[in-house]
Amino acid sequence: MKLRFILLSVASIGLLSSPANASRLESWYFDQTQNQLNITTESAVQPKAFLIQNPTRLVLDLPNTNIEGNTIRDRFGSKVREVRIGKVDSKTARVVVELAPGYTVSPEKVLIRGDSASHWIVNFSSIERISSGGSQSSEEKFPVQVGSISPFAGVVPLGSEISQLAAQVRTLMARYKSIEPGIFVLDLDTGNYLDYNGEKIFSAASTIKFPILIALFQEIDAGRIKPNETLVMRRDLMTGGSGNMQYKPAGTRFNLMETATKMITISDNTATNMIIDRLGGKSKLNPRFRNWGLQNTVIRNLLGDFKGTNTTSPKDLVRLSALISNNQLLTNSSQTKVIDIMRRVRNRSLLASGIGKGAVIAHKTGTLGVILGDAGIIQLPSGKRYLAGIMVRRPFGDSRGTQFISQVSKVVYGYLSQPRVARQP
């Protein structure tokens, strides 16, 4: 399996108010085991697709979408010869999946759907060998139907974008012009949402610890890891940055649950490395993240990842929150424990600072010199829940990044906490 990322410069702030501006291809990933292609774009697109025979190629055009650089080519297994990413013209990006000689697929067996308008999934349900004596002399185009948007993360039917909230966020962005944000907010009651660069790839910083925690509890649920295990802090796992475990001598033993809790509540980097190691490393974790639908979330290096090589996106973090909120990944017992740990995060300066009295937030923050992020599940005193993921690129150490996230959180909370007036018949 291969994962390809196209890391791109931040789009203009005006994109939120100018939907005619081009989107950008953020990332793509082809899963050989499932013959499935995942594509994420910076903003909404409506793909067009067709098949050409001799050789068999699926062509997927992304209107009003840019890529950087020249054509990208990647070769895969025995059935898929190559995936190519290039440009048709200045306004259209093209993805071509070329099957290997001797293989074909029928148009009706290519399924294309999105879990949002910026994340499209192409599934080849049946790649077949060409029968002996079969002919593929024609290059006729066969249209392939593009399906409608499926529920977000497979669990939350999307409603409409909240225009009033988007207008308020635009006003904030005009005041914080040095901040380059990505934002995705989802109302679990209505499916209505706010999306600005939700699929944009950012350095994950410590938000990467959120999916790591979920992976740990999945292993506990499966019985492959025991919650009362003891972990030994090896020297190669010790690191600087946040946390206090680094100040203990190498060889110190820690209870697994104590280690996992420190990873989240005080964002301990050494604790995180110990959990990553216990879970089998990035080669085990990254495929798991992709299986959850987190196409932009990748561990490339242990913590502290001060160069920011580990990545995620606001929408990926909200996808994970949606799965947790809808009991898709964990048992009830593990879900309760995860929420309890995440409600004890000590950094209250970002999303937590914008919510009202009586509301509670289960979340994970992340901080690097030029990156801030926070994502989680917010529950209002009324019991209503919404999900939020915000990441920003800022000038190094600039406190305006913190202020921006806090202000966005306050605006979102204020809007979603308003009682809805029932429509008159």
Query: Residue 279 in contact with residue 212, Cβ under 8 Å?
Result: yes
According to DSSP, residue 212 is labeled H
d(CA 41, CA 118): 5
Give the pair of three-digit tokens for residue 356: 């009202």
Peptide bond into 211 cis (omega under 30): no
DSSP 3-state of 230: strand
Helix 332-342 vs helix 256-265: crossing angle, to nearest 10: 50
Q: Give the pLDDT confidence score for residue 246 in this predicted structure.
A: 97
Query: Residue 284 in contact with residue 261, Cβ under 8 Å?
Result: no
Q: How many CB atoms lie within 10 A of CB 382?
A: 10
d(CA 217, CA 240): 26
User: Containing H/E element for 284?
Assistant: helix 282-291
Residue 100 identity (one-letter amino acid): A
Q: Give the pLDDT confidence score for residue 132 in this predicted structure.
A: 61
Query: Residue 223 in contact with residue 331, Cβ under 8 Å?
Result: no
According to DSSP, residue 9 is labeled P
**CA geometry: angle 38, 40, 41, nearest 5 deg:** 150
DSSP 3-state of 160: coil
Peptide bond into 395 cis (omega under 30): no
According to DSSP, residue 224 is labeled S
User: Containing H/E element for 82?
Assistant: strand 80-89
d(CA 251, CA 233): 5
List, in order, residues 6 or more apart from 383 with CB less than 8 Å away: none
d(CA 387, CA 187): 7
The DSSP line for 87-119 is EEETTEEEEEEEEPTTEE--GGGEEEEEEETTE
Query: Residue 368 in contact with residue 306, Cβ under 8 Å?
Result: yes
d(CA 376, CA 379): 10
The DSSP line for 353-412 is GGSPTT-EEEEEEEE-SSEEEEEEEEE-TTS-EEEEEEEEE-STT-THHHHHHHHHHHHH
List, in order, residues 6 or more apart from 275 with CB less than 8 Å away: 212, 213, 216, 259, 260, 263
d(CA 342, CA 252): 25
φ, ψ dihedrals at 233, nearest 5° = -80, 100
List, in order, residues 6 or more apart from 209 with CB less than 8 Å away: 263, 264, 267, 272, 364, 366
User: Containing H/E element for 275?
Assistant: helix 269-278
Q: How many CB atoms lie within 10 A of CB 59?
A: 18
Q: Give the pLDDT confidence score for residue 76 in this predicted structure.
A: 82
pLDDT tens string, the chain, 425 residues long: the values are 444 544 333 333 233 333 446 788 988 988 888 889 999 998 889 999 999 988 899 999 999 999 888 888 988 878 899 999 999 998 999 999 999 999 999 999 999 999 899 999 999 988 998 876 555 556 788 999 999 889 999 999 999 999 999 999 999 999 999 999 999 999 999 999 999 999 999 999 999 999 999 999 999 999 999 999 999 999 999 999 999 999 999 999 999 999 999 999 999 999 999 999 999 999 999 999 999 999 999 999 999 999 999 999 999 999 999 999 999 999 999 999 999 999 999 999 999 999 999 999 999 999 999 999 999 999 999 999 999 999 999 999 999 999 999 999 999 999 999 886 544 44
DSSP 3-state of 189: coil
